[in-house]
Chain A
Amino acid sequence: MPNCPGCEGSVALEENPRVNEIVECGECATELEIISVDPVELAIAPEVEEDWGE
């Protein structure tokens, strides 16, 4: 399992992870982005911007 770049805890992923997928660290609740899948690499997800969302 990949490690959270925030707290270094292990992050459990669902099957078939995708690039740019957003996941949450189960230990520190930081929102993470999958930046590659082979191998899986995680980065802190971008902060929400003012015009995001519906």
Chain B
Amino acid sequence: MNPATPAASFLLLASRVRADEKRLLDAFERRGMRYEYLDSRTAWSPLHQDARERRLVLNREIGHARALYAARALEAAGHVVVNSAAATDVCGDKWQTSVALRAAGLPTPRTALGLTPEAALEALEAIGYPAVVKPLVGSWGRLVTPVPDRRTAETVMEYIAALPSPQSHIVYAQEMIAKPDRDIRAIVVGGELLGTVHRRGEQWRTNVARGATTEAFEPSADIVKLALAAAEAVGADIAGVDLIEDADGRPLVLEVNDGVEFSGFQRAVGDRVDVADRIAEFLMTRAQSCFE
């Protein structure tokens, strides 16, 4: 991973330039930032060679495995990566995220890790039904499965046991929260909350990638505090924090996303905040503190 132009100070790493990455590149240019774009599909990293010039890297690689190893390789070469490899590692794994949130004393749904599908059945009995089973590493709500009762759980575990990857057999199980028809997405950049939106969808999974709609709202002090604390707990400088409210209206942290997709959020908040510009501003501030 040897960028060709030593004069550039910033590097945007991605393999897919979506609307979000276009906004980020536009923001870099508006702010006059010297940057280079690197297609991560062409990147390779020599072990025995440090970077000629340290860069501040914005990691926008869409695939978790590639994002994680890119961050590790770039940090090993002496660059500063946002988000860090450690944060990408924690955020990319639901169990690690839950452990970090619990260690910070933040409220989360009751959760258990079954080391085999059989053990997960026992864990689900302890959690109680209805519950949710999620892949440890997954995105856009893929394979997140509602489990209303023991009979369904047994069938789901049979399917999980038949999956080829050993990691798939480790089961993340969580109580199903009787939430309103919405959840909350908060975006945090550099320890500041940029805003909060409600996400509503026809499906029970309220991912924007699954067609959920977004609507900005003024967060309570509890939600602000929780979103900031969740980003800090996983060490993410740029974080998409997902929260839900339980039947009593108490907010719980579900997960923290390191590769924040913000198109739906931006549509909802309109001119109130420019997420890409705030990320660019944060990177410039961070570069000053790292390199000057």
Which of A19, A21, A33, A53 is in CB contact (< 8 Å) with B62? A53
Contact A54 B22, beta carbon cutoff 8 Å: no
Residues of B in contact (CB 8 Å), total 27
Q: For chain B residues 1-59, which have a beta carbon within 8 Å of chain A?
A: 14-18, 21-22, 25, 37, 39
| Residue A38 interfacial (CB < 8 Å) | no
- Number of contacting residues on A, CB 8 A? 15
Interface string of B140-164 (1 = CB under 8 A from A): 1010000000000000000000000
**Nearest-Cβ distance from residue B163 to partner chain A, whole angstroms:** 11
Query: B178 at the A/B interface (Cβ < 8 Å)?
Result: no
Residues of B45-83 at the interface with A, using a CB-CB cut-off of 8 Å, are 62-65
Complex alpha-carbon distance, A50 and B21, angstroms: 21
Q: Mark A18-54, 1 if CB is under 8 A from B, else 0.
A: 1111100000000001100000000001100111111
User: Are B37's CB and A51's CB within 8 A?
Assistant: no
Residues of A with C-beta under 8 A to B260: 54
The 7 closest A-B pairs by CB, nearest first: A53-B139, A54-B257, A51-B64, A53-B140, A21-B17, A20-B17, A52-B62
